[in-house]
Amino acid sequence: MSIAAAVLWLSSLAPAQTNEEAEIRLPVEARITQYRGVSKHLGYYIGGFHPNYIEVNVGQTVTLVLSSQDGFHSLEIPELGLATETVGPGESTSLTFVASRDGDFEMHCNTRCGAYHKQMVGRLVIVP
């Protein structure tokens, strides 16, 4: 049985000069197991980002922080050309960027992490 968890949490920082700056530690918990079941932490599916929807404004400086509890994970937003390195148990990494254009972008784990790897997806929506 393989259990992996990736945790990201959400908090805001004060605006910086003309651009609003936010550190986003997505409250994400992904649990991958060999058994079908529902994780109480996720609410409606096994494995995946929760929340699986993040909304920021164009011009906002965003920092996504990825921490892994007991598996190997990464975070990628292909349409924006953004990706973190793979992190292992007890490790974390961050990705800082300016939300320079509006749109609806898929984000996903880019490290094969278990049977429910394909469920580790979410959306980053950048609004004008």
Instruction: Output the pLDDT for position 102.
Output: 97
Instruction: List the structure tokens of 46.
Output: 């096994």
48-77 per-position pLDDT tens digit:
666 678 888 888 888 887 777 767 888 899
- Report the predicted TM-score, pTM, of the whole model to 2 decimal places: 0.65
Domain 6-127: give its CATH code.
2.60.40.420
**What are the start-end ranges of the E strands in 4-118?**
6-8, 21-24, 28-29, 53-57, 61-68, 76-77, 82-83, 92-98, 103-108
Domain ranges of the chain: 6-127
HSE (CB half, 13 Å, CA atoms) of 92? 12
pLDDT, residue 126, reads 92
Q: pLDDT (tens digit, 9 = 90+) per residue, 31-44?
A: 333 333 332 222 23
